[in-house]
Amino acid sequence: MTFDKNRFEPAVADILRRAIDAADDELYVVNPDVTVLENLLDELGMDDEPVVKLLAADATLKEMARDFKLASAAADLRDAGRLDLRVYEGTDNTLLVTEESVVAVVATGDGAAGLAADDDSFIGDAYEEYATAFADSEAFGLRTPGITEVQESLAGSLGDDTASDFDGVLSSMETARGDGDDLDEVTVSLLVAAKNEELLYDISKWGEDVGIASKATFSRTKSELEEAGLLGTEKVPIDVGRPRLRLKLGDDRLREASAGELASVAQSVLAK
């Protein structure tokens, strides 16, 4: 199946879905913006899909990497061999390219269009151009761990309840950038740990081991959340060394919230 005719769809995601379904082995996605990239991550599955070879501006990839939800999804696809991210500083339109088709993606307020080239020579030249550009481009250093690794390691380290709450909080959030409009992954981890009354040592060790953030970042964020009234701590004696700290939620509204409500309630507390 090829994407060889113009398509008009309600959303960019529908154009991307058609391109993914039409591609056999590989699909070059050229110069997407963050919105196209987000839709691509939603549409690209782990199995029975082409390998997506993505050529995007460094600024676009860095913006994606700021959002833990997007970055961890991209890392999952990368780890599964479904996605290869490369830095590309071109001025092209957003293109979807295979050996058999070249499609320009155009989005408007009323929908999206996939405008397909119909000249075989042009399609062949475009494919060769972007295959060469991809081979010559530098890989993007995405340091975020894949969400599957995060989920499995959290369940293994702190138990299924904590891992389930982590998933519930993330699922309730549109983004996870920690830019004032939402929470970042360290804050989410600490709130979930406090909901389950885990030790600060255990959640910060897990976070450092899996590659979310350093123990120092966890400790600093814990102090900030404690000052804001979101967290409290309780000393737990150990046989040797200083007592460790058990995390607790510091506000009644948080204690009464479900995992799906925890992020929005935390943001409400922070806003006040």
pLDDT value, residue 144: 96
pLDDT value, residue 202: 97
Asked whether residue 242 carries a pLDDT value surpassing 90, the answer given is no
- Of residues 242 and 215, the one with the higher pLDDT is 215
Segment 82-101 shows an average pLDDT of 92
Please give the angle made by the CA atoms of 246, 249 and 251, to the nearest 5 degrees.
Answer: 145
Domains and CATH numbers, the chain: 7-136 (3.30.870.10), 147-271 (1.10.10)
pLDDT value, residue 257: 93
Spatial contact of 16 and 39, defined as CB atoms under 8 Å apart: yes
User: E strands within 197-256?
Assistant: 231-236, 244-249
Segment 130-147 shows an average pLDDT of 96
State the pTM of this model: 0.91
